[in-house]
């Protein structure tokens, strides 16, 4: 009799990494960790550079060498470059280049993040068990799991989000993104906080300025990166704000533990 495959969805954030650690600590079956990486273009990751390096240089080797499990990195056929430069084919804006992703209607999540995950899941056996990084103190999200094919080890072992943060910190597996933000997401996300955007503007200006180049292209329908500002406006405001003492807030999890 063959056993079902056990797979952990892993973004590299505290909850998904804590799930890997709990599986190892409690001898829970685990065969593979899966990470879906959004790409800005064919050569540049959509992940914040420090987080991208953490995934490739720290987490992937840890899973493969220390946990003895496969670490799979998925990529969609489309990049953000292609999503941005898609030419609208119908309606009043036909013939115009789409432009930046809309806040709350993320075409990047739809076209770049989800498709490779769906394709991967479709190839799995129906009895595959997926570990999902949802903490005990997230009841609404936990209610969506069936507890059979979709399981939270964090809930099983009574781990809150703060507990997950601490567990990752204790094992040297806390992504460096938590030094400047509370979540991990694409560095060009329209929902990014000021602290996330300031990090890119000041630490990775060469990458962020790619957005300003796009903003200044001709025939662009949506030029705003956020709900109200273009990339150049975001940069000007945050640099001005940083000169008056703006700094990234400490993680709420760091304050709790």
Answer whether residue 198 is part of any domain: no
d(CA 107, CA 69): 32
Range 133-159 average pLDDT: 95
Q: Is the pLDDT of residue 252 over 70?
A: no
CA distances to 36, 111, 249 from 120, in Å = 10, 15, 37
Residue, of 243 and 226, whose pLDDT is higher: 226
Answer whether residue 78 is part of any domain: yes
Q: What was the pLDDT predicted at 103?
A: 84
pLDDT tier at 2 (50, 70, 90 boundaries)?
A: low
Domain holding 99, by residue range, is 6-181
pLDDT tens for each residue of 40-86: 999 999 999 999 999 999 999 999 999 999 999 999 999 999 999 99
Answer whether residue 204 is part of any domain: no
Q: Is the pLDDT of residue 246 over 70?
A: no
Answer whether residue 26 is part of any domain: yes
Total number of domains constituting the chain: 1
d(CA 200, CA 189): 11
Answer whether residue 243 is part of any domain: no
Answer whether residue 101 is part of any domain: yes
Q: Is the pLDDT of residue 118 over 80?
A: yes
pLDDT tier at 241 (50, 70, 90 boundaries)?
A: confident
Q: Is the pLDDT of residue 3 over 80?
A: no
Q: What percent of the chain has pLDDT over 90?
A: 87
Answer whether residue 91 is part of any domain: yes
Answer whether residue 235 is part of any domain: no
Q: What was the pLDDT predicted at 107?
A: 87
Range 130-151 average pLDDT: 95
CATH number at residue 16: 3.40.50.620
Q: What was the pLDDT predicted at 256?
A: 47
The average confidence (pLDDT) of the chain is: 93
């Amino acid at each position: 009799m063959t056993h079902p495959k056990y797979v952990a969805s892993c973004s590299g954030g505290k909850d998904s990494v804590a799930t890997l650690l709990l599986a190892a600590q409690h001898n829970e079956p685990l065969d593979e960790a899966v990470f879906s990486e959004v790409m800005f273009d064919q050569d540049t990751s959509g992940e914040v550079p420090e987080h991208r390096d953490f995934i490739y240089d720290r987490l992937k080797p840890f899973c493969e060498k220390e946990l003895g499990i496969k670490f799979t990195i998925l990529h969609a056929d489309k990049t953000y470059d292609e999503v941005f430069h898609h030419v609208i084919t119908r309606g009043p804006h036909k013939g115009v280049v789409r432009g930046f992703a809309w806040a709350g209607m993320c075409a990047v999540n739809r076209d770049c993040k989800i498709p490779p995950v769906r394709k991967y899941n479709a190839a799995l056996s129906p009895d595959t068990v997926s570990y999902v990084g949802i903490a005990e103190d997230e009841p609404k999200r936990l209610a969506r799991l069936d507890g059979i094919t979709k399981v939270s080890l964090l809930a099983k072992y009574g781990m809150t989000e703060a507990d997950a943060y601490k567990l990752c910190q204790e094992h040297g597996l806390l992504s460096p993104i938590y030094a400047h933000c509370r979540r991990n997401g694409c560095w060009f996300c329209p929902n990014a906080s000021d602290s996330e955007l300031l990090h890119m503007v000041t630490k990775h200006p060469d990458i962020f300025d790619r957005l300003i180049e796009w903003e200044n292209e001709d025939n662009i329908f949506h030029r705003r990166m956020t709900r109200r500002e273009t990339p150049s406006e975001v940069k000007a405001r945050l640099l001005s704000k940083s000169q008056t003492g703006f700094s990234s807030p400490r993680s709420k999890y760091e304050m709790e533990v």
